[in-house]
Amino acid sequence: MRGRVWSVAVLLLTIILAQPGPARAGSNAPQGLDCAALAELAITDTTPLAATAIRFNDSNRPVIPTPSGTVALPDYCRVRAAVLPQINFELRLPLNDWNGKFFMAGCGGFCGRVLADRPGYSNAINVALVRNYAAVTTDAGHWAPHAADGVWAYNDRSAEIDYSYRVIPEVARVARAVITAFYGSKEQHSYFSGCSNGGRMGALAIQRYPDLFDGVLVGAPALDWRTLAMYSSWVMKANMDENGNFVFDHRKTALLARAVMAHCDASDGLKDGQITDPRQCTFDPATLQCPGNDDGLECLTKTEVQVVQKWYQGLPDTHGAGWSYKVPLGSESYWPRWLTPPPGRPGAFYLFGDALHKYIIHEQDPGPGYSPVDMDLERYPVELDYMREIYRADNPNLSAFKKTGGKAVFYQGWSDPAAIPEMTIGYYEDVRKKMGGQAKTNEFLRLFMIPGAGHCWESPHPSPDIFNPIEVLENWVEHGIAPERIDARQYDGTGGTIRSRPLCAYPGVAHYNGTGSIDDASNFSCQGAVQGD
């Protein structure tokens, strides 16, 4: 394990308080303080700890679904506190059979709550707890009723800094002090995992704090809030008439999805109900335009065609920023949540964009009276530069992280309409160029693009996108097994496997070998230059 930055005060306290005590039942049981006694542990710049032993019996023990089946939660010591001024966290410490590792989860959107029981792998800790990790999650320094709320940031630079980057090393510092006091020793390995904003946090960790974690999982990262703010404004403006009403009829989303799939499905040479790489296909929504001035659910009006054309073509690069971000072909099944909600239900994309512009991305917050559609795309890139520097996580120079021996796995859905694929791929290409080419980048970082996948494992799951990212990273960090391919699965409602496919380390692509079922990953190989430059 690499060097850690510890305050002298914390180190002295943990040495004094974490003297070995009587071991409790189970192998690798805690050798330090009892769970309840952790409440007496004083840690610099931290509120008093609230520590409670959580024990289950066979009748009430929760189980967590994983790709290999359901796994029961172990008994654990629950520790709650706040890093000053107000970064709340919850740390869960297995009471028995600790695996000697530390896991920190990021939080999605604009955070705002400590979601210790969040399901799945996206910004969740129970998937690590069932593997007997000591695991921590946080609210990133503020409370909010939901992840798209941004009022907490209104004229509060301290809260914005906590949310952006201070939360990562500070919560890790305190969690490590508690782990050492409880188990009588430091962790042997440490991991961070996050998706969306949590992915931004993971990317930021390997850029700003390269010796903080041995392995980092970065999913669908919101690498640059300025770009996403402008992108959201542009998407909204494209879908609004002069009265501020949405143009695209949400009931026609399925029609468009079917047409895109029919046109692009075989672009990879295999007709299988998924689009391997949307960049390999072009689709003109005008093929669905209603004749004359007709309007119906089986065709698009001229105005609706224009909206979708703008979305697919991407944000115009009239300001020299080099952006080519666009709504990806094949993402239509996810639009009801993000872009084309029913009347009276604002899409998630509009909610996030609204909060970004009013409270988060401007140096001087315009506040609740401002609308993202008022944004001048010609003028605002420069006006957003100040806050961009606080939030951005797109520095391609990862030399320090590589030098420590750290490993990072990035993953991104090809059909993600929120944290758009071009942003993740563009960053990866920048890293590859900065770090000396494909082979040298492969030594410490891999990117896996997931055909058909939306934002952070969101439903529906129209293609294989389920895998265990923690296991992938463990094998690389602890056993030196670099991931060339990851076999992902698509499940039905009962847990049965519908299809499996390999996810290939970018720029590799899964290729059907020509024999056997196209629903079986063993009949595919990864093709494309993976080792060369």
Look at residue 183 and tell me whether its pLDDT is greater than 50: yes
Same domain, 239 and 185: no
Give the pLDDT mean for 389-402. Answer: 97
Prediction pTM value: 0.92
Q: Token pair for residue 110?
A: 């604009």
Give the pLDDT mean for 79-108. Answer: 98
Alpha-carbon gap, residue 424 to 451, rounded angstroms? 14
Question: Mind listing the pLDDT tens digit for each residue in 188-229?
Answer: 999 999 999 999 999 999 999 999 999 999 999 999 998 888
Tell me the chain's radius of gyration from C-alpha atoms.
24
Same domain, 240 and 142: no
pLDDT band at 259 (very low <50, low <70, confident <90, very high): very high
Same domain, 242 and 360: yes
Q: What residues contact 262, with CB distance under 8 A and at least 6 apart?
A: none
- Lowest-pLDDT range of 92-101, 136-145, 255-264, 342-351: 342-351
Dihedral pair phi/psi, residue 439, rounded to 5°: -60, -45
Looking at residue 531, its pLDDT comes to 47
pLDDT band at 381 (very low <50, low <70, confident <90, very high): low
Structural domain that includes position 513: 8-221+392-527
Look at residue 17 and tell me whether its pLDDT is greater than 80: no
Same domain, 365 and 452: no
Alpha-carbon gap, residue 224 to 226, rounded angstroms? 5
Domain count for the chain: 2
2 domain residue, yes or no: no
Alpha-carbon gap, residue 222 to 198, rounded angstroms? 8
Q: Token pair for residue 340?
A: 């084309």
Same domain, 134 and 101: yes
pLDDT band at 230 (very low <50, low <70, confident <90, very high): confident
Question: Mind listing the pLDDT tens digit for each residue in 346-366?
Answer: 889 899 999 999 999 999 999
- Residue 65's SS3 state is strand
- Lowest-pLDDT range of 210-214, 273-277, 398-402: 273-277
Same domain, 184 and 60: yes
Same domain, 50 and 15: yes
Question: Mind listing the pLDDT tens digit for each residue in 430-488?
Answer: 999 999 999 999 999 999 999 999 999 988 888 999 999 999 999 999 999 999 999 99
pLDDT band at 376 (very low <50, low <70, confident <90, very high): confident
Same domain, 85 and 98: yes
Q: For all residues of the chain together, what is the average pLDDT? A: 90
Given 390, 417, 441, the domain boundary residue is 390
533 domain residue, yes or no: no
Same domain, 261 and 382: yes
3 domain residue, yes or no: no
Same domain, 406 and 353: no
